[in-house]
Amino acid sequence: MSAFFSPFISKPDTVSAIMLKVLLALLPGIALYVWYFGPAILVSITLASLTALATEAAMLKLRKRPVAPFLKDNSALLTAWLLALSIPPLAPWWLIVVGTAFCIAVAKHLYGGLGNNPFNPAMVGYAVLIVSFPVQMTHWVTPLGMGATELSFVQQLQYIFSGILPGGLTLDAVTMATPLDTLKTQLHLAHPANEILTQPIFSSLAGHGSEVVAIGFLIGGLYLLASKIISWHLPVAFLGTLFLVAGIFHLADPSHYVAPVFHWFSGAAMLGAFFILTDPITSPTTHKGKFIFAAGAALLTYLIRVYGAFPDGIAFATLLMNICVPLIDAYTQPKVFGKKEKKA
């Protein structure tokens, strides 16, 4: 018996459908990922998805919550996909499994499950992995057609599940550092930025291949904006601030600081702007708050990228800004109807 009260009608929208749309929006980026880097990413997405669903079910059981409605809400899958897209696809299977299990069990359910986690679960997973397994986290698969040798899909699977590479090959031969990492290392070696960017792993916008994947995420993000799943405030404030900060540094010293467009299309900037920062549970609810949150995340991302120890800054920037969300919300409450002109 459900209680009967107004309103008696509601839109047929569901949490599950919203999450599904976000998953769909990731598809262009994933397709381009496969096109440029091979199908290994599909393996890690699958591993992450299975782990997420299993962990979700187990945690719901432990917490004595109904399993079916929450498994169907697609939120665990979204966390899994975002984590899989944030870590190297050519890595031992347990890396993504441990990371995903941590996301769901600790970052989500220990905080009270869907809707109650203060930190973006995928970013918590990423942070745990990069701190605990820095070596595995830095071997990124070389874009197809760029490396001396290329692994077949079977060979990739073999490596993921057994750690064995075909005779004579080392992991370094089939992987490389990310464009952001390469740039940082080379800058430390006092090479000027414009010289570094002429290396083959860089392309017109940012990193070869990865820049196109970023465009894929941008396209997915525009779909989310058009279908009103996310509001424009977060991505605009994030990309705007990143552009502004990077632009100021670049203008001041182009030999040390690359152009803002590079920052837009490298690393997880696009993924972050449209898919990570926009997680409604862990971001502010007010328009002004969203601006502050995303601008802060962009500033931190830039500082971590340029001055920090880690190659990309999205994860830590997001987590640091997640901490501020209650404070931001509290101080950005909009005035209610009829009470705007008062106290002038």
Crossing angle of helices 314-331 and 121-132, rounded to 10°: 140
Rounded Cα distance between 292 and 182, Å, is 31
Q: For another protein, what does the binding mask look like between residues 278 and 307, x meaning CB under 8 A?
A: --xx-x-xx---------------------
CA angle 133, 321, 249 (to 5 degrees): 85
Rounded Cα distance between 295 and 315, Å, is 15
Out of 253, 336, 343, 344, the residue judged to bind another protein by CB under 8 A: 336
Rounded Cα distance between 42 and 341, Å, is 55
CB of 315 to another protein, least distance (A): 21
Using the rule CB under 8 A, give the single segment among 200-208, 268-276, 296-304, 330-338 that binds another protein. Answer: 330-338
Which of the residues 74 through 133 are near another protein (CB under 8 A)? Answer: 75, 113-116
Using the rule CB under 8 A, give the single segment among 26-34, 120-128, 214-222, 333-341 that binds another protein. Answer: 333-341
For residues 237-275, one letter each, b for 16 or more C-beta atoms within 10 angstroms of the residue's C-beta and e for the rest, the string is: bbbebbbebbeebbeeeeeebbbbbbbbbbbbbbbbbbb
What is the CA 69 to chain-centroid distance, rounded? Answer: 26
227 binds another protein (CB under 8 A): no
Using the rule CB under 8 A, give the single segment among 66-74, 96-104, 178-186, 205-213 that binds another protein. Answer: 66-74
Out of 7, 145, 167, 200, the residue judged to bind another protein by CB under 8 A: 7
Residue 258 contacts residue 249 (beta carbons within 8 Å): no
Helix %, strand %, coil % of the chain (to 5): 65, 0, 35
Q: How many residues bind another protein (CB under 8 A)?
A: 41
CB of 230 to another protein, least distance (A): 9
Using the rule CB under 8 A, give the single segment among 34-42, 70-78, 92-100, 175-183 that binds another protein. Answer: 70-78
CB of 29 to another protein, least distance (A): 22
Using the rule CB under 8 A, give the single segment among 171-179, 196-204, 299-307, 335-343 that binds another protein. Answer: 335-343
Residue 282 contacts residue 325 (beta carbons within 8 Å): yes
The 3-state DSSP class for residue 162 equals helix
- Where does this chain bind another protein (CB under 8 A)? 2-11, 13-15, 17-18, 64-66, 69-70, 73, 75, 113-116, 231, 280-281, 283, 285-286, 329, 333-340
